[in-house]
Each structure stands twice: as structure tokens, then as C-alpha cells.
Structure 1
């Protein structure tokens, strides 16, 4: 299971990096495009389209760092025996604990892990499953926020996700341009966030060295969490590669609200300068260094499951 968890994390990391890269391109291109900011979903001061996108990127960068951390922190169970005491191996090697430790290290190295647990029961601690699914749940929260913003902006007609040539907005109302990819991401993200409850419950009810009631549900929730996260990232990459912005609609909304905020020329100049500066600094200092290890996979297109 630990090998599968590690390999599954290795599959997700470059996919998340690609999503961040696509959004970074989007943010850079629109760093100076003013747009109305919202707090409480009420008109507030101006921001820029690129600066708002950096809010999304920042959350995903935290998720990328957490996925990498939990992957690198994974430890192998190693050769510990039925209750974790290594008693049978000590007997095999006639009490030579050095040989037992050497075997433990050889098996750990063979499995591709740098470290093994010193203490285990019959299994590795189920706290590991909590840590892994907590990071995936956090990714789900980030994606849900991003796609909810896109859905709201689609309603305002300021932004929309890609719309394919053969795509139909609604079977009954074909003129509609429903943000169905973002809706799908939100739906799957909510499911992903709920899955962390499974390992929490499992770890809390393990008796002594191990009970088997941890097994059947883990076969479902661990695989399901990674499959869900994988589909979410594929879909979000597709969205990120084709986001459409409507500057005229944005400008019209700004002009409606400007009398309530400040003098037009002053505030527009401030936002253009400030938004562009913040976006550029954020991308150069925090985003691009984080993406450097994934440069070789950046050109891979999204695998969208319709």
C-alpha cells in the first residue's frame, strides 16, 4: 500500500504543476486588466484579473508543496514480523539483531524508500492514510473555490470556461453556456473532501497491534481519492488552458460602480500598476521556482474525461 501511495502521489504532482503553470500564464497575460473586486459578493474596490487568479495559484502552490512533503515523508514498514517485534527474524538469524536491521534496510531500499518505521504493529500506522487523504482533501477545497469563482464569473458573463464546437449548453435551452466542467470539478471536489473521514475513523478504532476492520474500506477510499483527484486535475487543466475573458463586460461593470468608489483616472492607474507588480513578483518569487522540477512535463495536454 505504501508503494502504491507513493506512486500515486508521483502521478498527481506533475499534473498539479501543469495546472499551476497554465494559470500562471493566464495571470501574467492579464496582470494589468482591471476588474471589480467582490467581498461578500458585493462590489468592493478594483483588483485585476491576473491578481485574482494569483489567489487561486497561491492555494494550489500550497497543495503542491504539501503533496511533495507527504510523498517525501512516506516511510516503509520494512521487515517487522506479525506484531512488529521482528521476533521471527531474530530467531532466523539466531539473535543477531544487526542482521535483522540489515535485512530491514535492504528490503526498504529495494522498495525505493529512504526510511522505514522503527515502531509498527502488524501494519504501518493508519495515521499515514490520514495525512495523505488530508492533503488530497485540501486540494479539493482549493479546486472547489477556484471553480466556484469561475462559475460565478460565468454568470456575470465576465469569464467562461472553454466551450467546444460540438458542445450544447442545455438540451432544453441550447443558447446557454453552462460552466459544466467547473460544476463537475466542484462536485468531485466535495466528494474528495469527504473521503478523509474514512481513514480518520479507521485509525481511531484500531485495536492494539491491528484489527482487520481497516482493510475493506481502505481498498475503496484510498483508490477512490486518487482517482477523484486525478480526474479533477485533468479537468481543471482543460479549463485553465481555455479560460475566456470578456474585457468589455468587465469594463461596463466597473463603470457602473466607479462613482461609488473614487475618481476614475486615479483608481484605474493605481490598480493597473499595483496588480501587475504584485502578479509579476508573486510568479517570479513563489510560483516559477516551485514548478522548476516539473519542466519536462509542462507541455502535456489535459486528458479530459467527458
Structure 2
């Protein structure tokens, strides 16, 4: 008898050795197209580029001095730089490319220290400066590279610049565009009646637009918080005391120099730190982004539910397959994908926010590895935003089914009728006792027709105008001022 046991191949090609390298994670593989703009800000190469930026600007500051703080160079004897020399130094940053990444990696294999490798990378450029500039002072200022700095002076500023760049230039525009998209849908469908569900049960009607407006309003509130975030930085030495600074150059107002330098990078200066900048600002930003994620998750699950009820229909994409076996299906995969990625993003952001605010005594390295996961945290959020946006674009409102659902639930008018009876009772109309209980007996557990509801209203003894108003009311017309709320308050 043949052996039908599945066999595992004993010799497979090692995928780890395939060139070009295969991504381990989906953000750098399957989903790279949706998150690629973040690479410019939150990748390892971006970190090293910002380190180069900080080191170069610090070198320029030490040579040129700080207006209003020093009368000349910060370090006495340092040469002032020409425009050409400053341009040459800044080109180290702007020209940082694949060759530079490879060279820096080669230096780090020797130093086994990433920031020291950055220092040596810059010093190589200083030595080579005469080839580009001719006569220049740059080869003589090598010892001012990383002067009086601890690695964290460079790293904290680099991460602040990276996160700010990612938020301001990539994540926030995408998130804002999505919130605007939801708001536009809210306006478009502001007056389309919807039978609400509270606890999953039929409830007071609203409109599709008003429900979307609620979500847009919530998302925008978080975006305002994120747009107003502070990005802090420090440059004050190994334990935040300017110890090396004041011993090496005692006549300088080092806090003033530090403040001018940090603020010159567009950051908020933190005057009191240990060896590390305390990362509290990071925790604040990540918590706000996580809260945005969770509101977006709420939107995704609500839209998914509306799709399952048939209130939203999905516009089929030509050539796309909804199910491998059921050809009729158009699955809400954009919203399901978004849910999962938002949950992953929140998990990472929560961990970052919780971990980064603690550092043992004056320094430990838990933040070093933790901060290397900022990119994935924002990447999964960015991917979710992209999926929700694509999913919303492919939706259409099924107004016929919405109207049918409303017409099948006349019992939801029990609320306005008993409220009208209460108002009439206060106005002195007799026979209005126990309005809630009477409507409860009529509606709980019962499906009513419009005719039955109008007959009930006609027998209540309400004033004629109130009776007429209630008998003219339908579930589809019982949406209060939902459309007006969208018009007046969404923006």
C-alpha cells in the first residue's frame, strides 16, 4: 500500500539567504506601499541621518557661537566657519544615501556603538573636506564633533526630530484626510434616516450622517491634541549637570547655549533631566495616537456592522475575489484588516508609553530597544488608516433597506408619544396618567403597524394638534434635529 503521509522536504532553499533580502514583517513586505513614507522618519537609517544632523548642527554652533549668549565661538579658539564650510557640513546630512548607510554600518562593526560610529563618519568627512573645498579649517575641528556630549544628548534630539517628522509630515496628514472623509460622508448623508440600535435592539432613529459625524468629531478632537503636541529635547551631558561642559569651558552659560540649540532644532527645551530626556512627551503623543486608533477601531466595527445589516453595500472591485469558495461574497476586509492593525498599533503604543517614562536612577537602556519599535507602532496605524479610507470609498448607502427597517419598527415611537403625554399632563390635560407604563404595555415585545399606533394615539385624549402631530409621525421622520446637528456642529 502506498504511503500517503505528507512529507516535509529535507533540503529547502534558505529564504534568509535570498537576495534582495526578504522582509520578516508585513510592514516591510506585503504592506510596504501603504507605509513607505514613514521610512524617511522612523527607520534605522532615518535615526542615523538625524544623528548626523544633530552632530553637524552642534559642531556649527560650537564654532560659530550663539547670538546673545556668546561673543564668539562657544569653545574659545574654535574657528568661525564660512558659508561654504557650513554647506559642506550640512551636505553630510542631505546627501546621506545608500552608500553612506553602508559605510556607517561598516564603521559600527568596529566601534560596536552606533553613536560613536556617527562621530567617526563625520570625522572622515572633515578629513576629506579639502578635496571639496580646498583650503579649509574643517580638518582641524574634529575634536569638536560630539564635544561634551553623551550619546543620549544626540539620541533624544534625533528621536524627537524623527517622531515630529513622522507625525507632522506623514501620519497626521493621512489621519486628518480620513477624518475629513468621514465628515464629508456625514454631510452627504445627514438626512438619511437610520434605525438606531442601543444594546443591539431597535431604538430612537438617527441618521447615517449624524452617526458618522459623531465619529468624525471624536477623531478630530484627538487630532487637535496630537497637532498641539510638544517635542522635548535636552543637551546637558552624562547626568544632566553640564559637568564636562563647565570643566572644559567654565566661562560659558551652558544652559543658555543648550536652550538655544534645542529650540533652534524646532524642539522644546527640557531644562531638568537625568542622562536621558525623560520621554514623557513621547508617552503623551503615543497615548493620544492610541486613543485616535481606538476611536477609528470603533468606526471600523460600526461600519462592519452596518455592512452586515445591509445598510451599507460594498461596491465590487472588478476582478477582485471576495471568497475562495463563495463567489457571491464581497467581504468587508478593509475594515477587518484595519481592526487588527489598530489593535497591534495600540499594543505597541501602550507599551512605548508605559515603558519610556521609567529609567532606573540616572540611566538604563530599556528605552534604546523600545524606541526602535516606534516605526512599527505608527506603521500599523498608518496601514489601518489607509484601509479604512479605501473601505469607505467603496461604500454605498442602501436607503431602501434603511426605510424598510424603520417601517418594521413602529414601536420606537413609544418614546415621543409618552413624552408628549407627560408634557400634556404638566399642562393640565386630564387622563394622561402613567404614560410610560401604558406605552410599555403597548410596545414591549410587540411589533406594531402604523395603523395600530395611530389608533392608539387617537384614543389617548390628547389635544387635537398634538394628536395630529403624533399621528403624522413615522419612524423615518422621527430623527429629531440630527441633520441640523451635522450642519451646525460638525466643523
Q: Does 1:118 align with 2:271?
A: yes
SS in 2 for 1:146: helix
Q: Report how far residue 260 of structure 1 moved.
A: 4.8
User: What residue in structure 2 maps to residue 151 of structure 1?
Assistant: 304
Q: Who is 2:133 aligned against? A: none
Is 1:126–1:199's contact at 8 Å kept on the other side of the alignment?
A: no
Report how far residue 199 of structure 1 moved. 2.5
Residue 254, structure 1, aligned to residue 381, structure 2: no
Match of 1:56 among 209, 215, 226: 215
Quote the Cα distance in structure 2 between the aligned partners of 1:116 and 1:162: 51
TM-score by length of 2: 0.54
1:279 aligns with 2:486: yes
Name the CA distance, whole Å, in 2 between partners of 1:180 and 1:40: 25
1:190-215 deviation per Cα after TM superposition (whole angstroms, max 9, x unaligned): 11221233224424652111101221
Pairing of 1:120-199 with structure 2 (within 5 A): 120-199=273-352
Equivalent residues, number: 276
Q: Is contact 2:205–2:478 with CA below 8 Å preserved after alignment?
A: no
Q: Residue 89 of structure 1: which of 238, 245, 250 is its match? A: 245
Alignment of 1:198-213 (within 5 A): 198-203=351-356, 205-213=358-366
Output the CA distance in 1 between the equivalents of 2:488 and 2:403. 25
TM-score (norm 1): 0.84
CA distance in 2 between counterparts of 1:163 and 1:137 reads 32
Which residue in the other structure is 1:6 paired with?
164
Partner of 2:232: 75
* 1:262-300 CA distance string (max 9 Å, x none): 5674243342x61211110112xxx2xxxxxxxxxxxxx
CA distance in 1, matches of 2:485, 2:325: 44
Is the contact between residue 160 and residue 179 of structure 1 (CA under 8 Å) also seen in structure 2?
no
Alignment partner of 2:481: what SS?
helix
Residues 14 and 39 from structure 1, CA distance in 2 versus in 1: closer, same or farther, beyond 3 angstroms? same
Is the Cα contact below 8 Å between 2:195 and 2:402 reproduced in 1?
yes
4+ residue runs of structure 1 moved beyond 4 angstroms?
none
Q: Structure 1: any 5+ residue segments left out of the alignment?
A: 288-306
**Superimposed CA distance per residue, residues 196-241 of structure 1 (whole angstroms, 9 cap, x where no aligned partner):** 3322442465211110122112212x11111112112222222233
Q: 1:250 to 1:269 in 2, by over 3 A?
A: closer
Distance in 2 between the 1:83 and 1:240 partners?
A: 51
Q: Give the Å deviation of 1:170.
A: 0.6
- Aligned-residue Cα RMSD (Å) equals 1.9
SS in structure 2 of the partner of residue 210 of structure 1: coil
Q: Which has the larger radius of gyration?
A: 2
CA distance in 2, matches of 1:187, 1:118: 40
Q: How far apart, CA to CA, are the structure 2 residues paired with 1:126 and 1:143?
A: 26
Report the alpha carbon displacement of residue 149 of structure 1 after superposing the two structures with TM.
0.5
| Structure of higher RCO (CA pairs closer than 8 Å, 6+ residues apart) | 1
Structure 2 unaligned runs (5+)?
Answer: 1-158, 415-452, 454-470
CA contact (8 A) 1:150 1:160 kept: no
TM-aligned CA deviation for residue 255 of structure 1 = 0.9
Q: Distance in 2 between matches of 1:21 and 1:196?
A: 24
User: Partner of 2:195 in structure 1?
Assistant: 36
**Equivalent residues of 2:278, 2:357 under 8 A apart:** no
Q: In the aligned structure 1, how far is the partner of 2:408 from the partner of 2:355? A: 54
The reply on whether 1:269 has 2:477 as its aligned counterpart is yes
- More moved, 273-282 vs 31-40: 273-282
Answer whether contact 2:287 2:350 (CA < 8 A) is retained.
Answer: no
What secondary structure, in the 3-state scheme, does the structure 1 residue paired with 2:331 have?
coil
- Aligned equivalent of 2:259: 105
